Amino acid sequence: MTTRPEFPIGVFDSGVGGLTVARALMQRLPNERIFYFGDTARVPYGIKSEETIAHFALQIAQFLLEKQVKLLIVACNTMAAVAARAIADLAPVPVLDVIEAGAQAAAAATRNKSVGVIGTLATVTSGAYDRAIHRHDPAIRIVSQACPLLVPLVEEGWLDHPVTRLTAQEYLAPVLAQSVDTLVLGCTHYPLLKPLLQQVAGAGVRLVDSAETVAARTEALLRERGLTRTDGTARHEFFVTDVPQRFQQIGERFLGRALAPVHVVKW
């Protein structure tokens, strides 16, 4: 498949969470076009089987490849945890994912070799972050914690609500008790909680935002391959499988800007 600089970047997630990745890309690479796919009809993925998640992920990847994207970004930790290899095998273009980007950043950031990881139950139980971090440094000790209540709180817009703060304190207490100095935000919803999570974790804990790290890796990869789009208007497109109005409402909160018209895809 021949790719060109003017082709868009394909970003996909089970719902709206991956828009934090899209936002980081827009900030770092303002000339790039982004085609974003959120599988809003079948979210949440975190409670589904690995076989089902992989099937959905490959279906979405194929849809974006047919739109002639020059790069695929798996902006869903749950999909990346169980299907990253299958997506890479399918795609004739480069594939990046939030887990590998976050793992690399965490391994580089930790000073005492103790790293905490928070995410959905599916992401945490998959052990994907453990494997990815240990590929960079087998000596790192990893403390993982599933935080299933944080996603609905973010989507409700309760980013600095007392309930969200108490919930974060409960989830992080056992992780912080293990003296981690680095905390990986292993769900793409969590970057919206960074100020609150930083307060709960304390100034001595470095937060790893995989949205920012994958955006940095995207910039480097496009430059390396001569695929950077340097001019033109960055017209983004958004695709969902259900409830476009809710996606647009929550999505504008995530992006901090108005969304282009949202297209509904019927399989």
What are 243-248's contacts with CB under 8 Å, separation 24+?
243/40, 243/41, 244/40, 246/40, 247/15, 247/16, 247/38, 247/40
Is there a binding annotation on residue 78? yes
Neighbours of 16 (CB within 10 A): 27
The sheet carrying 182-186 orders its strands as 141-146, 114-119, 182-186, 206-209
Tokens of 1: 């498949």
Give the active site residues.
Answer: 76, 187
- Round to whole Å and give the CA distance between 57 and 210: 19
213 annotated among ligand-binding-site residues: no
Note whether 84 and 7 are within 8 A (CB): no
In this structure, the dihedral spanned by the alpha carbons of residues 243, 20, 102 and 235, taken in order and rounded to 10 degrees, is 100
Q: Report whether 182 belongs to an annotated binding site.
A: no
H-type helices in 137-183, by residue range?
A: 150-155, 162-176
> Tokens standing for 205?
């804990």
Residue 13 assigned ligand-binding role: yes
Map residue 97 onto helix, strand or coil. strand
Position of tokens 């600095």? 160
- Asked if residue 46 belongs to a known ligand binding site, the reply is yes
CA gap 153, 27 in Å, rounded: 25
Pairing mode, strands 114-119 and 9-13:
unpaired
Q: Is 188 annotated as a binding residue?
A: yes
Asked if residue 55 belongs to a known ligand binding site, the reply is no
The annotation places the binding site at 13-14, 45-46, 77-78, 188-189
The annotation places the binding site for substrate at 13-14, 45-46, 77-78, 188-189
